[in-house]
Amino acid sequence: MKIAYDEKLSLLHLGDDHPMRGDRYQRAVRRFRELGLEFELENFSMASEEDLLLFHTREYVERVKEISERGWPDISPDTPGFKGVFEAASWSVGATLKALELAEQEGIGVNLAGGWHHAFPETGRGFCIFSDTGVAIAKLKKKGLKVMIVDYDAHHGDGIQRAYGSDPQVITVSFHQDPSTLYPYLTGFLEETHETNLNLPLPPLSGAEEVLYAFSHLVPPLLEKHRPDFLIVEMGVDGHCSCYVANLSISKRGYLRLGEALGEIRYKYDIPMALVGGGGFVYPHYADCWALQLAGIQGRSLDLELDDCPGGRNLGRVKELVARAKSLARL
C-alpha cells in the first residue's frame, strides 16, 4: 500500500491552537511505523492551477493567491488565511491526485492530508480551502468514469453533495452525525436522499454498531445497483470517542472493521480505491484509527490494544433510518 506523502503537507497548518495542525501527517506516519503497518511513501507534485479550476471558480483561486501573498484576510469565518495558504492547499490536492494515480495503477492509493469536503467552488469553509475530492471527482469524470464517494467523517460532506449530489455520473454517500446537532447544520438530512445521493445521519453518541450496520446495509447494495468505475473513501476518524469536534463514539475496533469491510469490497468488486484522511484531531487516536483501517483493508493485524467506546444505544433508530434510506435510494 502506498501513501502520497511529502513534508510539504505540514504547510497546511491553520494555527498552533487550531485542530488542523500541520504536524498531523508526520506524526501519523511515525505512528504507522511504530505499529508495524506495511506501507510505502510516494512522492507527488503540487496540484496545478488547471487542476484547481476543474472544481473551483477562477475568482476564488485568484482570491486565495492574493490572501497567500498578504497573509490576510481569512478565507472564511471558520477557515484562516495565512502566508503560503495557496501552496499549502495545492500540495494537499496534489496528494489526492497522486492517490488517484496509485489507485489506477495498483488498485489502492492513500492521502492522509485530504478529504476537504466542505469547500464550495466559490469559497473555502469548515477548515477546507480547496476541495481535493471535488477536483478528483471532476478529473475522473473527464475520463468518462462513474464515481462513488463514501464518506464516514463525522461531518456531512456538504460541499461534495452541493457539487455532485444531482450528477448521474457520481454517487455520493455520507454517514455522519445528525447535522441538526453538528456542523454544517443545514444539509446532510435523510430527506435529501435519492437514487444517487444518500445521507445517513447518525444520532449523537452512535458508535461502531450503528455505523457498521448502516455501512453494511447500504454500501454493497449501492455498488451492486450503480457499478461505479472508481471508489473514493473519506475515512475520517473524528467520530472516535476521543475526538472533541463531534459527539460520536466509534471505537478503534469499529474502524478496524470498517477497514475490513473496505477490503471485502475491494476484493469482491475489483474497483480502484482512493482513500483520503478527513478529520480526526487527537493524537495518537487519529493515527491509530487510520492505521487500523489500512490494516483492515490489507487483511492484517497491528500490535495495538483496541478500545471499546460505548455504542449501540441508537441501533434501533439507525435501523429505521437505514430502511427509509433504502426506500428513498430505491435499493
The residues carrying an active-site annotation are 118
Q: DSSP H helical segments within the chain, as ranges?
A: 24-35, 49-52, 58-70, 85-106, 132-142, 158-164, 208-226, 252-269, 285-298, 315-328
| DSSP conformation class of 264 | H
Q: Return the residue matching grid coordinates 483496541.
A: 306
| DSSP conformation class of 307 | P
- 167 burial (CB, 10 Å; 0-12 / 13-18 / 19+) is middle
Q: Is the dihedral of CA 232, 275, 303, 263 positive or negative?
A: positive
Give the span between the Cα atoms of 6 and 14, in whole angstroms: 18
CA distances from 289 to 35, 139, 147, 188 (A): 11, 29, 25, 24
Are the beta carbons of 123 and 134 closer than 8 angstroms?
Answer: no
Give the span between the Cα atoms of 120 and 137, in whole angstroms: 14
Q: Select from 106, 111, 104 the least CA-distant residue to 47.
A: 111
Vertex 231, ends 26 and 176: CA angle to 5°? 70
Cell of 328: 428513498
Cell of 233: 473513501
Q: Is the dihedral of CA 286, 118, 161, 187 positive or negative?
A: positive
